[in-house]
Amino acid sequence: MSAFDCVIVGGGIVGAALADVLSADGVSVALVEARSIGAGTTACGMGHLVAMDDNAAELALTSWSVSLWRELADGLPRAVEYDACGTLWLAADDEEMAAVSAKVANYRAAGVRAEVLDSAALHEAEPALAPGLVGALRVVDDAVLYPPLAARTFALRAQARGARLMTGCPVRELRSGSVVISNGEVLTARHIVLAAGVASPTLCPGLPISPRKGHLLITRRGAPVVHHQLVELGYLKSAHGTDGASVAFNAQPRVTGQLLLGSSRQPGDATREVDAALLERMLKRAAMFLPGLDGLQALRVWTGLRPATPDGLPLLGPHPEKPWLWLACGHEGLGITTATGSARLVADQLLGRTSPIDARPYSPARFLAVSSREVAHA
């Protein structure tokens, strides 16, 4: 038995970022990962660090998180491939262009730098795009990176400060004050944080997290040159549909000269197989926006499972019925972006500090009713 202030279960980007923040605060931490650091959904993600403004809580967490990434950027190893390329949200018609004006105001009110590009400015910025697009919203401070190595960087920084990194150690059970590993080892801890992504409900039944599958494709080097992460504004319509599979155009330039193309959404699908028909839909959509893709070869295609909650916001905070258990899971398609802010919010709550943003919208209590027995004792 070994005693820690905090045992974090799950070494994805979220658990690793938390280990980094807590260890920097002098907290004794163990980070317990079933496979290797970043091997879960984190290894499957696109790595876009994006301020998103669908609702106030999402904008608060994403914009703060992107700014935390910017503070970290200079200290990240080259291999993390941090690239502050910004985002262009592409408007295909006047209706989408009208949405751009509303979004600009929204972003600026939150302190996020945003600009409107008309059709001419857009084609000057990105000559590889198909003609006919009406304009775009440019979010200047967004970035992309390579998620699994970002997670590894966090974990190694924590380890250098004395945190115990345990990989290849699936956790079998969470108990009040301890974590049982499948080899029988028991780690005791004052606080336990569940950061197991889409697998979190297996260790804590009843969590409102379900898989939302996505496909990605990376091209060979020599792809059409693009300078920003490109996303169609129609993405917002498809990303938030709750029923049926959807695709939307999303392309990232990588510092390797490759292009990373997404993305699809299949709510409730927990399989990992590539769906050829859906991939074809996704690529046809991409070729509509980037005609130069035709004839380019793919290097790899893969899928990943986003850990989705019913309202699209993560679960960050104490489990209402288990005061010893903290949740840091359910980040859906924004976990790479919000890992930095999520880690700070959970660490601040654990250490009894106030955070720069209000943590309440992410409180697990919004879904997990407290049993009557505990209410009576509250």
Partner 1 sequence: MREPASKATPLVTLRINGRAVTVPVGTSVAAALAMTDRFVSRADLSGRPRGPLCGMGVCFECRATIDGVPEVLMCLTPCREDQEVVTDA
| Shortest Å, Cβ 101 to ligand FAD | 25
Tokens of 248: 């939307």
- Interface residues for partner 1 in 254-283 (CB under 8 A)? 255-257
- Interface residues for ligand FAD in 36-95 (CB under 6 A)? 39-42, 44-48
220 binds partner 1 (CB under 8 A): yes
Return the one option of ligand FAD, partner 1, none that residue 312 interacts with (CB less than 5 to 8 A, by type).
none
Q: What is the DSSP string of 60-101?
A: HHHHHHHHHHHHHHTTS-GGG--B---EEEEE-SHHHHHHHH
| Shortest Å, Cβ 125 to ligand FAD | 21
* Contact track, ligand FAD, 260-289, x by CB under 6 A: --xx--------------------------
Query: Which of 3, 102, 160, 299 is the binder for partner 1 (CB under 8 A)?
Result: 299
| Shortest Å, Cβ 39 to ligand FAD | 5
Distance CA 313, CA 344 (A): 16
108 binds partner 1 (CB under 8 A): no
Q: What is the DSSP string of 305-347?
A: EEEE-TTS--EEEEETTEEEEEEEE--GGGHHHHHHHHHHHHH
Closest to 365 in 3D by CA, of 208, 193, 173, 200: 208
Which of these segments, 12-20, 73-81, 157-165, 236-244, binds ligand FAD (CB under 6 A)?
12-20
Q: How many residues bind ligand FAD (CB under 6 A)?
A: 43
216 binds ligand FAD (CB under 6 A): yes
Alpha carbon separation from 99 to 57, 89, 94, 289 (Å, rounded): 19, 10, 9, 19
Report whether the peptide linkage leading into residue 263 is cis, meaning its omega lies within 30 degrees of zero: yes
- Interface residues for ligand FAD in 317-336 (CB under 6 A)? 329, 331-336
Query: Which of 300, 353, 369, 371 is the binder for partner 1 (CB under 8 A)?
Result: 300
3-state secondary structure of 352: coil
Site of tokens 């956790």: 171
| Shortest Å, Cβ 278 to partner 1 | 23
Longest dimension (CA), the chain: 66
Tokens of 256: 């390797």
Return the one option of partner 1, ligand FAD, none that residue 214 interacts with (CB less than 5 to 8 A, by type).
ligand FAD
What residue ranges bind ligand FAD (CB under 6 A)?
9-15, 32-35, 39-42, 44-48, 170-171, 195-199, 203, 214, 216, 262-263, 304, 306-307, 329, 331-337
